[in-house]
């Protein structure tokens, strides 16, 4: 084979430069979205949003300023628009929406509920899972699950009284063991680790950084996973901790599925796992058992979705409550009245009562300011296109609208970045309006399926943590530690830590 000449190399370079130049010209002057306002650099290249997401706290934090400058509908990528207002958000995410999901390759979650692009596919999978995550199902499991995990969590904190606890890890140990035990009847015993120093949780905590890279560079997860699999196992564990953490969670789901498939008589009829439902489909409804790989992906999804988001909300609540003497004093007063014996554990039905109004308001405000998945959840316009704010958007256009903007809308939430539980102690109509505006669990048929489990976990944890312990975060956690980055889920810059002391009354 003849060697490649320098002239051929130069021609190839020149052709590549010309191609990029012509592509930019097309995007700026001939693209169907050319008339939509926004930064010209964002219209020219995807690297604009990638830079803000990967090199700054996130494009989502820049969007409010961009919307003020350019209007309610702006172009943030060559083929992507961002919608600011709640009406546009509801149009995209409402029940029965014709907007299709755009799934970004995430190796460990491919085939899961969240990867289903069409509405019929999503509905079919949710039919399996919705009964499992209903409020009634969660309440049935509470005496066996939440009470046991909450007791473990509080016991470990009790042993740590007088020391500084890393609550970033503590809350993740709690939520991981809860979601895994609920879904699989098997957990990783993270709550048994002294000081909540679970190696798996520490590794898993590094995963969100990778997730954000995958949103900008398709097939990133597949490439990295294949590359890492070629390395010695010890190097994988030491140098690629996030991937190892994902694999650990994935293996728990896989082994549980294989066990149930091979031992159907071991099914717990009182509290079935999510896989029991999938392995015993309702044929009268046309249900069929999904492939094993998809069940593994769904199991991994539940761990990923149920661990970080709920733990982040608990961290947000802990920081703001402990930094405000007035809020912490009012909360403790309510809890002492409602739970006279600090060592008792009440159930979630009790926490739904009028005696815990302020506790629930704190949880609501924590959800509002922890944002869940704050940024770009991408959908594609239907074949007939769509209209936003009077502007027609052609078919096949990516459109997004983030939770962060909805949860901090100043028209609905005055002083939107202030943690103020009292904003939820309002008349019924105002509460309804604010609840409609807050999108922490998203909306519609693709909304968070674990919302009921999250609320039960949050209410129980907040009530018992603050009733039993005094936590001092001042001097151990700063505002800078709590500054979050958009890593697909909100990820704080540092760990929230606090000095824990057992209450005497």
Do the beta carbons of residue 466 and residue 335 sit within 8 Å? yes
CA–CA separation, 473 and 202 (whole Å):
21
Does 448 carry a binding-site annotation? yes
Distance (Å, whole) CA 259 – CA 271: 16
Contact between 97 and 82 under an 8 Å Cβ cutoff? The reply is no
Q: How big is the CA angle at 54 (ends 241 and 77), to the nearest 5 degrees? A: 135
For 113, 255, 277, the CA distances from 261, given in Å and listed in that order, are 21, 10, 12
- Return d(Cα 132, Cα 95) in angstroms, integer: 20
Give the DSSP letter of residue 406: H
Cβ-contact 128, 478 below 8 angstroms: no
Rounded to 10 degrees, what is the CA torsion of 18, 19, 20, 24?
A: 100
Residue 475 φ then ψ, to 5°: 95, -10
496 burial level (CB within 10 Å; 0-12, 13-18, 19+): buried
The total of other beta-carbon atoms located within 10 Å of residue 296's CB is 25
Tally of CB atoms within 10 A around 30: 8
Residues within the annotated binding site for heme?
448
Residues within the annotated binding site?
448
């Amino acid at each position: 084979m003849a060697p490649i000449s320098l002239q051929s190399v130069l021609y190839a370079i020149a052709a590549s430069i010309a191609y990029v130049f012509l592509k930019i010209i097309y995007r700026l002057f001939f693209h169907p979205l050319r008339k939509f306002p926004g930064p010209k650099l964002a219209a020219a290249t995807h690297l604009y949003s990638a830079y803000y997401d990967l090199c700054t706290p996130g494009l989502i934090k820049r969007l409010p300023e961009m919307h003020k400058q350019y209007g309610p509908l702006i172009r943030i990528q060559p083929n992507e628009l961002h919608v600011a207002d709640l009406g546009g958000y509801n149009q995209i995410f409402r029940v029965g929406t014709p907007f299709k999901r755009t799934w970004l390759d995430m190796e460990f979650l491919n085939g899961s509920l969240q990867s289903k692009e069409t509405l019929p596919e999503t509905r079919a999978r949710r039919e399996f899972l919705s009964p499992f995550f209903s409020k009634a199902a969660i309440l049935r499991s509470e005496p066996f699950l939440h009470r046991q995990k909450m007791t473990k969590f509080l016991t470990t904190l009790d042993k740590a009284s007088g020391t500084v606890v890393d609550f970033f890890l503590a809350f993740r140990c709690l939520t991981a063991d809860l979601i895994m035990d609920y879904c699989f009847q098997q957990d990783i015993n993270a709550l048994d680790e002294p000081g909540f120093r679970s190696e798996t949780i520490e590794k898993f905590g590094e995963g969100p950084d990778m997730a954000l890279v995958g949103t900008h560079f398709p097939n990133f997860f597949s490439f990295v996973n294949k590359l890492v699999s070629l390395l010695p196992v010890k190097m994988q564990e030491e140098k690629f901790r996030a991937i190892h953490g994902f694999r650990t969670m994935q293996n728990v789901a896989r082994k549980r599925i294989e066990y149930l498939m091979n031992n159907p008589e071991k099914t717990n009829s009182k509290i079935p796992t999510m896989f029991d439902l999938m392995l015993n489909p309702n044929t009268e409804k046309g249900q069929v058992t999904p492939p094993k790989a998809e069940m593994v992906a769904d199991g991994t999804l539940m761990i990923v979705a149920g661990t970080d988001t709920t733990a982040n909300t608990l961290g947000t609540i802990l920081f703001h409550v402990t930094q405000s003497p007035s809020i912490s004093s009012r909360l403790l007063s309510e809890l002492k009245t409602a739970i006279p014996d600090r060592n008792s554990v009440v159930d979630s039905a009790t926490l739904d009562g009028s005696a815990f109004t302020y506790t629930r308001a704190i949880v609501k405000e924590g959800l509002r300011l922890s944002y869940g998945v704050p940024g770009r959840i991408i959908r594609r316009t239907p074949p007939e296109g769509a209209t936003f704010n009077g502007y027609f958007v052609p078919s096949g256009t990516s459109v997004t609208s983030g939770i962060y903007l909805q949860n901090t809308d100043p028209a609905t939430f005055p002083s939107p970045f202030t943690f103020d539980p009292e904003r939820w102690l309002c008349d019924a109509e105002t509460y309804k309006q604010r609840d409609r505006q807050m999108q922490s669990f998203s909306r519609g048929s693709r909304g968070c399926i674990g919302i009921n489990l999250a609320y039960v976990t949050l209410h129980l944890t907040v009530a018992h943590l603050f009733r039993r312990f005094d936590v001092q975060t001042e001097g151990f956690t700063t505002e800078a530690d709590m500054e979050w980055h958009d890593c697909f889920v909100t990820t704080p810059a540092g760990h929230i830590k606090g000095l824990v002391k057992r209450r005497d009354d």
